[in-house]
Chain A
Amino acid sequence: MPVRKRIVFYLLVFLLSTAFLPVAAAPAEPSALVKIASPAPAVSRLGGVVVQELHSCLLVCAPLPVLPRLRAAGVDFAVLAYPREGVHFFLLRSPLVLPLLSQGADIECRLLEDRIWLLWTADPGFRRYLAQPFRLKALALSGPLAPAAGEIPPAPAPEYEEYRSRPRAARALAKLTAQVSQERLRSDILTLQNFKTRYASTAQCEAAGDFILQRFRQIGLDAESDPFSFESYYQSKNIVAVIPGEIAPERMVLACAHYDSTSNNPLVSAPGADDNASGTAAILELARILAKEKFDFSIGLLCVSAEEWGLYGSAHYARQARRDGAEIIAVVNLDMIAYPGDRQRVLDVIGNRKSEWLADRFIAAAQPLVGLRLAKVIDPSLTWSDHSSFWDQGYAALCGIEDSDNPYYHRSSDTLATLDLPFAVEAVQASLAAVADLARPLNTPAAPTGLQARSQISMSLFSSLKTVYLNWQANREQGIGYHVYRADQSHGPALRLTAQPLAQTSFKDSFLSPAQEYFYVLTAVDEQGRESSYSQEVRDDENN
């Protein structure tokens, strides 16, 4: 073999062998997981990676050589664990003083804050040793995780104040929220409950995902399933649909909910009516109502799985979104929105510090339209649902959740019969108003009115041409232009005739065939290029 070919051959072998090397879950170099009292702004600069921001502390993964630097910088920290291959780390929320059923299990726990534990184990079946109810969040110690503090999320639309002040926008939101149907919510919750269990990795959970996918498609949305694997052995899928934006489709408002469930006997019975068929049904209802409308920005509708296992579905989606550079303006996560309990009817709107503007905006858009009280809660320790995965990637996200302790939580008794559907309707209305408001609906000018058409035929000896004269009433808004569209048949496909919006309220369409009838519609266009819906159609000689 010639030398050059031999070199190429060995190079290929080397490249292939590196491609098949297992991807390490743990940090490549020896590291320590440490707890640092927040705020600790120097951590990232000194080489540590913030894994999780909590109310009173930060969890930081730091290579061992970084620890002396932290100490030298005066950062007060405590080493919690030394991550190694095959060991998984979780945040565990348990109301119990001792969350473990058995002391003999191969599980280690350290209390971080009130009711919040750090748990690590190499046992994939560790959940059987945990006492219900508990909530888990899997921690990623390596990979492209953004700092928990995150980047500053994309600013809200600069013209927000002006937009919100328009009575038309408020009327539009009211019109949308009035469409929320309690019967549809009830029906969807029941359907999801009837899968018996939606515990991620079970066939029933996959069937529930198929049901959601089918519902999105029935509504007419472009929807797809996004499979992912978790904890090495298991697979599930997220279901995502998009309502494309009209003006800036690359910017997205994301509404999400997890559709998987769990219980004290998850493989057999986990109806999860409140947790979280209620949130999933809300997403389906949002899809049904919003799909008929037009928005400046895209609206993503995401139903994730494996939330109960540790937020795996949302973490998969959020990581991928960050990697792809997705411009997610805001995430509204709905998790348990149908059990108000005996207390005052309150829906908590949970955000971290970076998402506080989003919580404010949610409440500003929704509170005037609903009777339930929307309570802002800013606490980065509330990581127990899918919004937390988006926080980890630097996105602004919040969670809408009932402010009550549901006694049926994570139990086989979490069924439709225990729910308060009128409360759920209001929670969905609030979410719908907030999502629609964030995506900027109907921020387009009103369709022009008063369109009139007159036509005449100019004739020479052998040929003739039709000319159509259009005129209409000027819109009341300032800075409005107009586009003119023509179709060869009534309500047929229309061709836009104007390259740029017209400033005047008349238009002449020349050189037309006298033998053909033409039909015209108009749109109004504002200075940002937002276009109204069509005006009333007129035939070319309608006003002759």
Chain B
Amino acid sequence: MKTIDMMSPKAPAFFAAVLLLLPFFSSPALAGMEKVPQPRFFIGAAAGYFYPRQDAFRKIYGKPLWPVELQLGWNPSRKMSVFGAVRYLETSGSTVLLAAQRPEEKYALRWRQATLRLGMNFWPLPSRFAPFLGAGVSYSFYREQWLDAPLASEGRQAGFFVQTGGRYRLGRRFHALVQIEYSAISAGGGSGLSRSVNLGGLNLSLGLTAGIF
């Protein structure tokens, strides 16, 4: 069986560095706004670009992947937030061949994945643009369906993620959010392409949160 190597870490590392440095370029004039009381609960939505960590996933579903996410969060303090989220990814692809005799043979595939996420973010420098570090756990439901053949695989799997990024306060209730995340979801045995499937990868997303209470 052929196993595909994992992705090169160079590109995600670059994005992570940019995001981590963002707080240091924030305007000091806005620092005084931190005194304004903030709502304890917030909701949010985010969308972004997902870069699968496994070569096999990228070969099959090679086009850009755009997951969307809805969040519900709680700020127990000014330096910490806890959130729950659901992320959804749907895409299409086609099979790859082993021992190819007729390269034209392709079967269309559809991938659907919904992930429940529970995480915590730490805000070391509360300010108008506040960087954060976070981590959490996830539970994914996935289904891979062959559209031209009577075949489908589905499963559910727990995983974890770490993330970093920052948020920019747009007003008393609203924040813009940018974050980069690394996730790992080990889904076990796969086809001949990879012995073990991991559904994780890097996710760069932009979003908006709104305080509600």
Contacts and interface: CB of A to CB of B under 8 A. Distances in A.
Interface of A: 454-465, 467, 469, 510-511, 514, 541, 544
B90 interface: no
In order of increasing CB-CB distance, the 7 nearest A-B pairs are A462-B153, A458-B95, A464-B191, A454-B101, A457-B98, A459-B191, A456-B101
B197 A459 contact: no
B97 A457 contact: yes
B108 to A, nearest CB: 10
24 contacts: A454-B101, A454-B102, A456-B97, A457-B98, A457-B99, A458-B107, A459-B95, A460-B93, A460-B107, A460-B153, A461-B111, A461-B191, A461-B193, A461-B197, A462-B153, A462-B187, A462-B190, A463-B144, A464-B95, A464-B192, A465-B107, A467-B102, A511-B151, A544-B99
Contact of B192 (A459, A467, A511, A544): A459
Interface in B70-100: 93, 95-100
B29 to A, nearest CB: 50
Nearest to B150: A511
A456 B197 contact: no
Given A456-B101, A465-B146, 20 more contacts: A456-B99, A457-B98, A458-B96, A458-B105, A458-B106, A459-B191, A460-B93, A460-B107, A460-B109, A460-B151, A461-B57, A461-B144, A461-B197, A462-B153, A463-B144, A463-B153, A464-B191, A467-B102, A511-B149, A511-B151
B193 to A, nearest CB: 5
Interface string B191-210: 11110010000000000000
B135 to A, nearest CB: 26
B60 interface: yes
Nearest to B149: A511
A463 B191 CA distance: 5
B101 A455 contact: yes
Contacts of A458: 95-98, 105-107
A510 to B, nearest CB: 7
A454 B105 CA distance: 13
Given A465-B151, A511-B150, A459 B193 contact: yes
A510 B150 CA distance: 11
Contact of A456 (B100, B111, B153, B191): B100
B192 A514 contact: yes
Interface in B91-131: 93, 95-102, 105-107, 109, 111
B97 A463 contact: no
A514 B191 CA distance: 10
Interface of B: 56-57, 60, 93, 95-102, 105-107, 109, 111, 144, 146, 149-151, 153, 155, 187, 189-194, 197
Given A510-B149, A511-B150, A511-B151, A469 B101 contact: yes
A460 B95 contact: yes
B102 A463 contact: no
A544 B95 contact: no
A514 B151 CA distance: 13
A460 B144 contact: yes
Contacts of B95: 458-460, 464-465
B188 to A, nearest CB: 9
**In this complex, which of A459, A510, A511, A541 has the most chain B Cβ atoms within 10 angstroms of its Cβ?**
A459
Nearest to A453: B101
A459 B97 contact: yes
Given A460-B146, A467-B105, A455 B191 contact: no
A541 B98 CA distance: 12
Contacts of A464: 95, 98, 191-193
A509 to B, nearest CB: 12
Contacts of A454: 101-102
A203 B109 CA distance: 78
Given A462-B191, A465-B151, A456 B146 contact: no
A461 B57 CA distance: 7
**In this complex, which of A464, A514, A541 has the most chain B Cβ atoms within 10 angstroms of its Cβ?**
A464
Contacts of A457: 97-99, 192
A456 B96 CA distance: 10
A510 B151 CA distance: 12
Given A456-B97, A511-B150, A511-B151, A462 B102 contact: no
Nearest to A541: B99
A346 B186 CA distance: 89
A455 B105 CA distance: 11
Nearest to B154: A462
A514 B109 CA distance: 18
A454 B97 CA distance: 13
